[in-house]
Amino acid sequence: MPRDRTSGQWRCCGWSPAFRGDRLPRSQAMRDEHLIPRHTAESRVVTDRIQVVLELTSRLNLLRHGELEARTALLAEILGRPVPETLTLYPPFYCDYGLNLEFGEHVFVNQNCSFYDLGGITIGDRTMIGPGVTLLTAGHPVDPTERFAGITTAPIVIESNVWIGANATITPGVHIGSGSVLAAGAVVAKDVPANCLVTSGGHVKRRDLNPANSPALGVPGVAPASPEAPATCQRVHH
């Protein structure tokens, strides 16, 4: 489990609504999805920090492969603290916040990975991450009536000895147990127990949503959908 760190003035979003550097306790953070409302002091902090990190990652990805010292220095700026000496990370690399991203020892990250860490990402010791992996800790409310209210965040926790295959995607709030393997291309939206192999393909319809022009959004003259009406999306196999 990560150590609490209080040195970064930015490290608040998804962890501390009081704007201190403190993180929420891990159990609480995993239990509660956090909403960052639009047009608030918190959202302005997020926006400012994202601009800083976009500039830093742009500079990182322009370096020659052999410029290890410069790469390490830029990663330290992105993370807001020294980079573990045993971390191997190959650019290009993308993230949006940096200060809520924590690496264990002997972690390997291959090329073209995107770690969107606004909600917090913890990566355990000896974890291997293949090329093109995406870790997402932020999103928006699902209901169209609330979707533009702000950004929702929930942390991702990856325990030790995990292997994540190429182009896998992990969504907000997921906990990956120690020793597990996520196959290439897997989309993981729920917790994975320790020491198991996970694959995925296709997508499954979960529920209907109110369309943007429905009476639920206050548009006159549009009748609500009948319960017997055919579904607008179905399961698709890839």
Q: Tell me the catalytic residues.
A: 140
Q: Phi and psi (nearest 5°) for 67?
A: -85, 70
**Cβ-based neighbours of 207, under 8 Å, separated by 6 or more:** none
Distance CA 118, CA 97 (A): 6
Strand order in the sheet with 128-129: 88-89, 108-109, 128-129, 163-164, 181-182, 197-198
Distance CA 24, CA 153 (A): 13
Identify the three-state secondary structure at position 134: strand
Distance CA 21, CA 217 (A): 38
Look at residues 160, 161, 159, 189 and name the one whose alpha carbon lies nearest to residue 173: 189
**Cβ-based neighbours of 18, under 8 Å, separated by 6 or more:** 12
Helix (H) or strand (E) holding 74: helix 68-79
